[in-house]
Amino acid sequence: MDNFDQIRGEEEEVFLGWDKLFCGSHHSLATNRGRLYSWGLNDFGQLGTGDFLKRTAPALVGHFTDCLAAAAGESHSLAIWNGELFSWGKNSFGQLGFKGAAREPSPTKVGFGEGWTAVAAGENHSLAILDGKLFSWGLNSLGQLGLGDTKNRKVPTQVGSRSDWERVFACGNQTFALSKGELWGSGDNSRGQLGVGDAVNRQALTRVEGAQCWINVVAKGSHTIAISKDGLFTWGANSRIDRHTPTLLQPLSESTA
């Protein structure tokens, strides 16, 4: 085997180990054996490659080898390495969690301490969990930070006083968080996408009723899909009529639509 074949073989082996995927508006992130890669648009440095050049193929982000979690917003990104939280990209609304330039092309440490376990990115806001406590920062025009107001935050700010949060999700201008099977949401609710029974925005986290023991959530801006032990539920924008509360999906063969 010559050097070229060896290098090619090593590259092919590396790109067989993809694990987690994260999609922003115009850029993507993925982990491969603990390393984080990015590609796509990079006008705000959202790829974390130290420049503002777009990539059409996966490029390595930083030098870390133990990426626990990552998230991609409209034009910003976040990741947890060895329990520490980092962010990069657009910072116009403080969504990177530190005061500084309007854009940052390299991963920069956020906040305090170690032990971050989960992270999420909305369009221009961010959330993360540290020792079971939920923190939010960035744009808050519709209450998506869950802090009870619509004031933007430029640094991580604790949401409420609970210390048993397990997972957090975000998309557009809405936020969801899970704790002991309970699902809570805040932010944009113009189409009933928070599932709280109406179409009024929420500035504070509000519990989503309608099912027992929520497990996972996918928020897509104007509608939401979630799994509970009772089955698969959807709510929010719908071509026929919007749904303001979780609605259990039935198998297609049983549908009477």
Structural domain contains residue 169: yes
pLDDT digits (tens, 9 = 90+) for 150-206: 999 999 999 999 999 999 999 999 999 999 999 999 999 999 999 999 999 999 999
Closest Cα to residue 128, out of 89, 149, 97? 97
* Structural domain includes residue 70: yes
Report d(CA 189, CA 144) in Å as an integer: 10
Residue 32's domain is classified under what CATH number? 2.130.10.30
| Burial track 30-52 (b if 16+ CB lie within 10 A, e otherwise) | bbbeebbbbbbbbebbbbbbeee
| CA 40 from centre of chain | 17
Decide if 146 is inside a domain: yes
- Summarize the confidence of residues 240-245 as an average pLDDT: 94
Q: Work out the pLDDT band at 6, boundaries 50, 70, 90.
A: very low
pTM: 0.91
**209 and 247 in contact (C-beta within 8 Å)?**
no
Classify residue 232: in a domain, yes or no: yes
Question: Does residue 121 form part of some domain?
Answer: yes
Domain extent for 34: 10-254
Residue 86 is assigned to a structural domain of this protein: yes
Residue 2 lies in a domain: no
Query: What is the reported pLDDT for 253?
Result: 64
Distance between CA atoms of residues 181 and 173, nearest Å:
23
Question: What is the number of structural domains in the chain?
Answer: 1
Residue pair 176/170 in contact by the 8 Å Cβ criterion: yes
Alpha helices in the chain (DSSP H): 3-14
pLDDT score at 13: 52
Locus of tokens 């917003």: 73
Answer yes or no: is 153 within a domain. Answer: yes
pLDDT tens by residue, 60-86: 999 888 999 999 999 999 999 999 999
Joined together, the tokens standing for residue 154 give 């430029």
